[in-house]
Amino acid sequence: MTMNSPKPYQNNCDSFSSRLASSVGSTTVGSNWLLVLAWLLVFMVGFLPSAHAELEFDGRNRFIFDAGSARLSIVISNRGSNTTLVQSSLAWGDGRSTEEIPLALNKPIQIIAPGQKGAIEVFYEGSGFPEDRETYLLLSVLDLSQGPREPNTVQLALLHHFKLFFRPKLDQTTEQAIANLRWESQIDSGSPTISNSSPYFITLSDIELVDDKGKLCGQTVDHLMVSPFSTAMLKDSKCQSSPSLVRYHYVTDGGNMRPYEIKF
């Protein structure tokens, strides 16, 4: 396989949530006042009581769809005190928007009562993904709470994002992929490159470089995802000399962190 050119690292958390706030009532104002009101609303969110559901995703922060499975079922539990409207969608992980995704969701919109469970089922059309490597997608779940609209209450909508990988039948295991990562130190910059010759997306966390004196050099890299058959670079490591050791955690299929270290 031909490796791609080295790319700077990016922050690639496996899951994260963002809050979208709305206050009770509405009015029509000029654009400047809208900006002021927006900042006031952000400030108020920290002080006013909020109403939103508490969704749990069976303890998962990433999902693997094996090609040999008929479907991928994702269980959602509403641990909050309010009924919530859940809206789910899929997007390409690399940001492309013109190609159609060969996956379908059986319940893109559903209502989950307090203390109850729902489920998102993902189906594959049978073709459309590469058969020699994983495909990276992004699952977004919008949590629209239907709590009582009381005075001085801020309604919060939570938007959850999860990595979803479609995995065809592959000869290599994920453990072999981690063991075969190739780290190379660049003498001129002190910034190492990581070559991934496997068909898997490999996510690393808390990457630390250690110099020949046993001291940490440069900044710890929180997250780095290396695509299949590609090379990534730890940009601006600020090591005065080539590092002698690298320590990091890799993310398992279950979303757990496993420590790993390798000498240059």
Weakest mean pLDDT among 2-6, 72-76, 136-140, 166-170: 2-6
Render pLDDT for 63-100 as a digit per residue (tens, 0 to 9).
Answer: 999 999 999 999 999 998 889 999 999 999 998 878 89
Cβ contact 11:252 at 8 Å: no
Helix (H) or strand (E) holding 128: none
Q: What is the CA radius of gyration of the chain?
A: 22
Render pLDDT for 165-193 as a digit per residue (tens, 0 to 9).
Answer: 999 999 999 999 999 999 988 766 667 89
**Predicted pLDDT of residue 215:** 87
**Predicted pLDDT of residue 201:** 98
- Average pLDDT, integer, range 191-213: 92
Q: Is pLDDT at 234 greater than 60 in this prediction?
A: yes
Give the residue from 24, 3, 4, 17 showing the smallest Cα distance to 157: 17
> What architecture does CATH give domain 171-263?
Sandwich (2.60)
Query: What are the boundaries of each domain within the chain?
Result: 15-167, 171-263
Residues 6+ positions from 151 with CB-CB distance below 8 Å: 24
Q: Where are the beta strands (DSSP E) in the chain?
A: 7-8, 15-23, 50-51, 55-56, 62-66, 71-78, 84-92, 103-105, 109-112, 117-124, 135-145, 154-167, 182-184, 193-196, 202-210, 216-226, 230-233, 245-251, 257-263
Answer with the residue of higher pLDDT: 34 or 121: 121
**Predicted pLDDT of residue 53:** 54
Helix (H, G, I), strand (E, B) or coil at 258: strand
Answer with the residue of higher pLDDT: 26 or 59: 59
**Arithmetic mean of pLDDT over the chain:** 82
**Predicted pLDDT of residue 183:** 92
Weakest mean pLDDT among 9-13, 18-22, 217-221: 9-13
Weakest mean pLDDT among 67-71, 155-159, 206-210: 155-159
Query: Would the CATH topology of 15-167 be identical to that of 171-263?
Result: yes
Task: Tokens for 58, please give them.
Answer: 């069976």
Helix (H, G, I), strand (E, B) or coil at 168: coil
- Average pLDDT, integer, range 223-252: 87
CATH code linked to domain 15-167: 2.60.40.10
